[in-house]
Amino acid sequence: MISPVKIWRRQKEIRKVLGKKGKILTWTKIFTPGSDFKKYAPYPVVLVKLENKEKIYGQLVDCEEKNLKIGQEVISVLRKVRASSEEGVIAYGIKFKPMK
Amino acid sequence: MNYVTGYYTTRFGELWDKSLFDLVEEAMRGVLKQNNLENKQIDAVFFGNMLAGVLENNLHTTSKIAEILKVNIPIFRSESACASGGVAFNLAKAYLEANPNKNVMIVGAEKMTDYSPEETITGLSAAASGEEQEAGLTFSGLYAMIANFYLEKYHYTEKNLAHVSVKNHFHGTLNDKAHFRRTITSDQVLKSPYVAYPLKVLDSSPISDGASAVIMTNNLGVVKKQKYSVSVLASEVATDTISLKERKNIDEILSTKIAGNLAFKKAKINRSEINVAELHDCFSIAELLAMEDLGFWKKGEAGKKIIEQSTMFGNGGDLIVNTSGGLKASGHPVGATGIKQIGEIFLQLTGQAEKRQIKNAKYGLAQNVGGSGGTSVVTILGI
């Protein structure tokens, strides 16, 4: 379950990993999501190894099919990650877009 | 020594006329009847279940079981995602090791088809880390990431994965309790829609209802009265990070490797002595990894070896895998799976596996995995 407090607590951590470059370690495209993500399907999710070796998950946005490959260089960006909660708080989080 | 003396399972499938506790009751009464035991002869019950808290708003299942059995004995519930059943069995064994001359019942059950697929998938996602859930990763999504990595690393394609489902569906036709009892071709697997690329519907175990129960005892008087018994040679649990990303190797399930090595050491037998195994094929890729991580096949070779179908019933192989149909065809009522696996090995070792009976099986192994590999249980039984 999601709550405004949880969103607030998580968002304090997000700025630390914004604008970071890395490479796709592995990826998938989700066709059958859970309830919260149903309206976005299908959507690609990537596991990225950042330049500092840290590994982060995120959806890949602003991309074409050809960008969905292991080794693709990407950069982390701030995006809305799910529909707003009943309290109206919008959850933002990390997604990735391909580097040109 | 601890012995398994009885096994009963309900049918697995979309059992709309049965509730979670209808299934639990059927499995418990079934196994008690088989062993001619009264409720009051059971000293403790261990219950494996994952989703009753999330889907049914029921987190006091143990007391409900006491109500059904009309007993006041200790009853424990284990939750370790899809390894809940295997972990319940492990805890029951530890209980017997601390308590001589006792009989315990281990029951695993799940009710999954009362809800929309999205609701059940959200519930199953509880097996993943918060970060994984937040990225929109499902359970199938995590195994898809593993599969994608494995296929690329060892230069395989989705075709290599398809053979797992073909074999397990064939086995499902030989098991009256299986969710699916029809054969499929690798072409059908490859043409089925994607769930999470590169995994398709026919690479994936279904959402099923079902319950399975076994009796384990260290009371030799009880063992002597039973028609069938097998020895529990080892039951080992190992854990690992809940997040896939925190693992050193994405193409292995380290918890299975650790639990497997410990189990073989405890059982004092070699891998080549295992005649029959039930492996956790929640997705096709998972059976390939299990074959490698348990040391039956070399790392990276499973994609190639599976094409030979040496682990299929009737092909004359030394090790037959997932005679029940596996999670893929037998069905995957999460909490029941680990118990059904042990039950299938019991049937094989005692000559009760009917149409799918393997000749002269002496040792069998069950591997039960929770989440994307955060928990593994490896059990070895012998006759």
Asked whether the predicted pLDDT for residue B35 surpasses 80, the reply is yes
A/B interface, count of CB pairs below 8 Å: 94
- Is A71 within 8 Å of chain B by CB? no
What is the Cα–Cα distance from B83 to B86, expressed in whole angstroms? 5
Single out the residue of B250, B251, B253, B287 nearest to residue B161, CA to CA.
B287
In this structure, what DSSP letter does residue A76 have? E
Answer yes or no: is pLDDT of B32 > 70. yes
Kindly tell me if the per-residue pLDDT of B111 is higher than 90.
yes
Share of chain B above pLDDT 70, in %: 100
Alpha-carbon distance values, B28 to B39, B57, B70 (Å): 9, 22, 12
Tell me the C-alpha distance between B324 and B337, whole Å.
11
**Which residue type, as a one-letter code, is found at position B168?**
N
At A13 the pLDDT is 86
Q: Mean pLDDT across the stretch B183-212?
A: 98
CA distance A93 to chain B (A): 8
In this prediction, residues B268-272 reach a mean pLDDT of: 98
Catalytic residues of B: 82, 332
B307: Cβ contacts below 8 Å, ≥ 6 apart: B160, B163
**Cα of A66 to nearest chain B Cα, Å:** 14
Write down the pLDDT at residue B336: 98
Q: Does A96 touch chain B (CB under 8 A)?
A: no
- Please name the member of B117, B152, B245 whose beta carbon is closest to the beta carbon of A47: B245
Nearest to A93 among B122, B134, B141 (CB): B134
Query: pLDDT category, A6, cuts 50, 70, 90?
Result: confident
ipTM of the complex: 0.95
Task: Tell me the pLDDT band of A36, cut-offs 50, 70 and 90.
Answer: confident
Give pLDDT tens digits for A7-22. 888 888 888 999 999 9
Q: According to the model, what pLDDT value does residue A84 have?
A: 66
In chain A, residues with a C-beta closer than 8 Å to the C-beta of B122 are 34-36
Residues of A with CB below 8 A from B132's CB? 57
Q: pLDDT tier at A85 (50, 70, 90 boundaries)?
A: low
Domains and CATH numbers, chain B: 3-115+208-230 (3.40.47.10), 127-202+231-382 (3.40.47.10)
User: Across the interface, do A32 and B145 touch by the CB < 8 Å criterion?
Assistant: no
Binned at pLDDT 50, 70 and 90, residue A1 comes out as confident
Predicted confidence (pLDDT) per residue in B116-138, tens digit: 998 999 899 989 998 999 999 99
Q: Which residues of A touch B118 (CB under 8 A)?
A: 33-35, 38
Instruction: Read off the tokens for B211.
Output: 């319950």
Q: What is the pLDDT of residues B153-175, one digit of tens each?
A: 999 999 999 999 999 999 999 99
Give the C-alpha separation, B87 to A29, whole Å: 32
Interchain CB contact of A89 with B (< 8 Å): no
**Partner-chain contact B136 A59, CB within 8 Å:** yes
For residue A10, the chain B residues in CB contact (below 8 A) are 134
Instruction: Provide the terminal-to-terminal Cα distance of chain B, rounded to the nearest Å.
Output: 12
- The enclosing domain of A37 has a CATH number of 2.40.50
| Residues spanned by the domain of A19 | 4-98
Cβ(A47)–Cβ(A63) under 8 Å? Answer: no
| Residue B135 to residue A33, Cβ atoms within 8 A | no
Query: Tell me, what's the pLDDT at A5?
Result: 86
- List of chain A residues whose C-beta atoms are within 8 Å of the C-beta of residue B115: none
Q: Is the pLDDT at B357 greater than 80, yes or no?
A: yes
Percentage, residues of chain A above pLDDT 70: 98
Is the Cβ of A59 closer than 8 Å to some Cβ of chain B? yes
If you average pLDDT over residues B26-55, what whole number do you get?
97
Return the higher-pLDDT residue of B244 and A85: B244
Strand B44-48, strand B75-78: pairing: parallel
Using an 8 Å Cβ cutoff, are B101 and B218 in contact? yes
Distance to chain A for B340, nearest Cα, Å: 27
Determine the distance from the C-alpha atom of residue B227 to the mean position of all C-alpha atoms in its chain, rounded to a whole number: 25
Comparing CB atoms, the residue among A33, A35, A57 nearest residue B131 is: A57
pLDDT in tens, A55-81: 999 999 999 999 999 999 999 999 998
Give the B-side interface with A, CB within 8 Å.
116-119, 121-122, 125, 131-138, 140-141, 144-146, 148-149, 152, 193-199, 244-246, 250
Q: Of how many residues is chain A composed? A: 100
Quick one: pLDDT at residue B7? Answer: 98
In this prediction the pTM is: 0.97
Chain-wide mean pLDDT for chain B?
A: 97
The tally of domains found in chain A comes to: 1
Which pLDDT score is estimated for A88? 76
Picking from B128, B80, B82, B45, the residue whose alpha carbon sits closest to that of residue B340 is B82
Nearest-angstrom CA–CA distance, B89 and B380: 12
* Residues on chain A touching B117 (C-beta within 8 angstroms): 32
- Alpha-carbon gap, residue A8 to B159, rounded angstroms: 45
Could you tell me which of B378, B82, B93, B379 has the C-alpha nearest to residue B255? B378
For the segment B37-50, the average pLDDT, to the nearest whole number, is 98
